A and B are shown apart, each in its own frame.
Chain A
Amino acid sequence: MSRKVRIAQLSCGPEYSGVQKEIYDAAEAVDAEVFFPDIALADVERGVDAFGLDVRSADLKLMIARAMALVEGKVDADGVFIGTCFRCAEAAIVRNELRRYIHENSRLPVVSYSFTERTTSGTLLTRMEALTTIARRRALLAREEQTGITMGVDSGSSTTKAVVMKDNEIVGTGWHPTTEVIKSAESAIADALEMAGLTREDIQAIGTTGYGRFLIGKHLEADLVQEELTVNSKGAVYLADHQRGSATVIDIGGMDNKAISVIDGIPGTFTMGGICAGASGRFLEMTAKRLGVDITELGPLAMKGMGVNVPMNSYCIVFGTQSLVNALAAGSSREDVAAAACHSVAEQVFEQQLQEIDIKEPVIMVGGTSLIEGLVHAMGQLLQTEVVVPPHSQYIGAVGSALLASGFVKGE
């Protein structure tokens, strides 16, 4: 068995919120151990002075000093988990500044999270898994070329995607709404194989990702079962042909959103989540339904409209839908409503998540929602940049899995 991955915890409040055990459990589930960097009182006093952020809370001072010990190499770690209480402004400032500081001054992967007493280990699991993967599988993640014949399956909350790759080319794709996890995967795989003109026996290695990755992985006897943060980062820079240097990957999913700051194809810092489905692809699906168009038509429709003409705030999916209905009743055009819905989702992601990572160009949007032109446009406007949507962006997880799985092709 490999050595446990050591994750340094920088936090204020989890013991008092009753969630420290959830952090321990999430780490243990991915064979990692959480520890608290050992420093002395003099380090705290010196650290706070040197860092220059005069916070009042002593535990935040402790976080700063511990972060400095990690960056200065006085304490060894494989990754860093930064956690503070949700709704604490003082802690949010420290959390963001430390994340930036560690990211800029070390090679340590960082994940930050603001918890409440309701945070569970399940919520933290994907993040911890990504942290350990980056630490444990740097060699695998360094792969920039797909070899042999491999398949990737992405079992997402809304849709299941499958991709077959051969000699660095995508030769087959399949896409099905997720109903029964295994059945949907089988359908997507059958389509991808048919398109590729290959059979299951031809496949030399399989990778799975997404919510259903464990179930599908077991069913297919996959070589690689991997969370979507590292897989999507890899897939995004591969498809966008930007494997070296910095990039930002945004994936607005059906159930949650991912924003990942990537260096050389490996996630540096990332956030995952979303307060409400109002900031997700689900809201756009509802909008399309209400407007009587297919989700694929929502994007072009939005491009014809002006979002500013319709007040809409999809912070909550219920209120968001209400303003959508009100706008239509008040005579707003379908185009304007579609544009407003796209803008609102982009704004929620921008406000809630993109503040947690450093945006570095190129900004690459992936996942099914990246095909909604209006959403990409709205995001570009908010970020004041040209957003890149690579070909096959909707298959991002499947492509990333197929690419990484080729590390398991025999003879490799």
Chain B
Amino acid sequence: MAKVFIYPATSLILSDLVARFGHKPLGAALGIRERIQTAGVDSPPLQITPEEPKRGLKYAAVEVPSGVRGRMAIYGPLIEEAEAAIIVTDADLAFGCMGCARTDELIIFSLRQSGIPILELKYPSDEEEGVQFVAAVKKFLDGLPKEEGGA
């Protein structure tokens, strides 16, 4: 089972397909869950405290807006953990955790830099493209190691 970063990280379709074809999807929900289940300073709604943008300095310099650094504090560790990634390149209406275009650019760049296998594709817009989309995702995932940890 490989850890596959999904982009958009909030995607239902990618999260489903990755798990369905036997791998572990790494998306925003995991980062948020970790924060929601950790005791600390109360910081609703997402339990992202003002400390997180500071942690985000590992991924983006201080002149980068706090919202980008705060988001990178969620995604940075997931990207580091990822063994593969699937990127939908026309995900223009993914909000919230994916709602900042500058963060999104940085996430995609970081994934491309990391050297892991990446599948880039577009959302399907009809049934024929739906078939191609699912086939491409399945083929990509079938090529990833099935063993625990991928080693």
Complex contact flag A–B (Cβ < 8 Å): yes
- Could you list which residues of chain A lie within 8 angstroms of chain B, going by C-beta atoms? 12-21, 24, 41, 44-45, 55-62, 84-88, 90-91, 115-118
A111 to B71, CA, bound (A): 25
Contacts of A58 in B (CB 8 A): 92-95, 98-99, 101
Q: Tell me the bound Cα distance from A18 to B55 in angstroms.
A: 12
**B96 contacts partner chain A, Cβ-Cβ < 8 Å:** yes
Report the bound CA distance from A131 to B114 in whole Å. 47
Do B95 and A117 have beta carbons less than 8 Å apart? no
Whole-angstrom CA separation of A31 from B101 in the bound complex: 35
Known interface pairs A18-B50, A24-B44, A56-B101. Does A13 touch B94 (Cβ–Cβ under 8 Å)?
no
Complex: how many Å from CA A86 to CA B93? 23
Q: A61: nearest residue on chain B (CB-CB)?
A: B93
Other than the given A16-B46, A16-B68, 20 more pairs (CB < 8 A) read A14-B67, A15-B48, A16-B66, A17-B67, A18-B51, A18-B53, A18-B70, A19-B50, A21-B42, A21-B44, A41-B93, A44-B93, A55-B101, A56-B92, A56-B101, A57-B100, A59-B100, A85-B67, A88-B102, A117-B70
Instruction: Look across to chain B and name the residue whose beta carbon is closest to the beta carbon of A86.
Output: B65
Q: CB of B54 within 8 A of chain A?
A: yes
A-B contact count (CB 8 A): 107
Residues in B with CB closer than 8 Å to A15 are 45-46, 48, 70, 96
CB-CB under 8 A from A60, the residues of chain B are 99, 101
Once bound together, how far apart are the Cα atoms of A15 and B68, in whole Å? 11
Q: Is the CB of B43 within 8 A of A18?
A: yes
Contacts of A24 in B (CB 8 A): 44
Cβ–Cβ contact A17 & B44, under 8 A: no
Kindly report which residue of chain A lies nearest to residue B95, judged by CB atoms: A58
* Chain A residues near B45 (CB-CB < 8 A): 15, 20
Task: Name the A residues within 8 Å of B50 (CB-CB).
Answer: 17-19, 117-118
A20-B44, A58-B93, A117-B54 are known contacts. Are A13 and B67 too (CB-CB below 8 A)?
yes
A301-B63 Cα distance, complex, nearest whole Å: 39
* Minimal Cβ-Cβ distance residue in B for A22: B50
| Chain B, range 55-95, C-beta contacts under 8 Å to A | 63-71, 74, 92-95
Residues of A within 8 A of B52 (CB): 16, 18, 117
Residue B49 at the A interface, CB < 8 A?
yes
What residues on B are CB-neighbors of A20 within 8 Å?
Answer: 43-46
Q: Contacts A57-B99, A57-B102, A59-B100 given: A13-B66 contact, CB under 8 Å?
A: yes
Q: Report the separation of the CA atoms of residues A17 and B67 in the bound assembly, to the nearest whole angstrom.
A: 5
Cα distance A45–B93 in the bound complex, in angstroms: 9
Task: Please tell me if the beta carbons of A117 and B44 are within 8 angstroms of each other in the complex.
Answer: no
**Per a CB cutoff under 8 Å, which of A13, A88, A118 touches B70?**
A13
Looking at the assembled complex, report how far the CB atom of A142 sits from the nearest CB atom of chain B, in whole angstroms. Answer: 37
Contact between A16 and B71, CB atoms less than 8 A apart:
yes
Given A19-B50, A85-B67, A118-B50, are A57 and B101 also a contact pair (CB < 8 Å)? Answer: yes
User: Using Cβ atoms and an 8 Å threshold, which residues of chain A touch B51?
Assistant: 18
Q: Are B100 and A13 in contact (CB under 8 A)?
A: yes
In the complex, the chain A residue whose C-beta lies closest to that of B46 is A15
Cα-based distance from A17 to B69 in the complex (angstroms): 8
Q: Can you list 21 A-B pairs, Cβ within 8 angstroms, ordered by A?
A: A12-B99, A13-B65, A13-B70, A15-B70, A16-B46, A16-B48, A16-B53, A18-B43, A18-B49, A18-B66, A19-B66, A21-B42, A21-B44, A57-B99, A57-B101, A58-B95, A59-B99, A85-B67, A88-B65, A90-B102, A117-B66
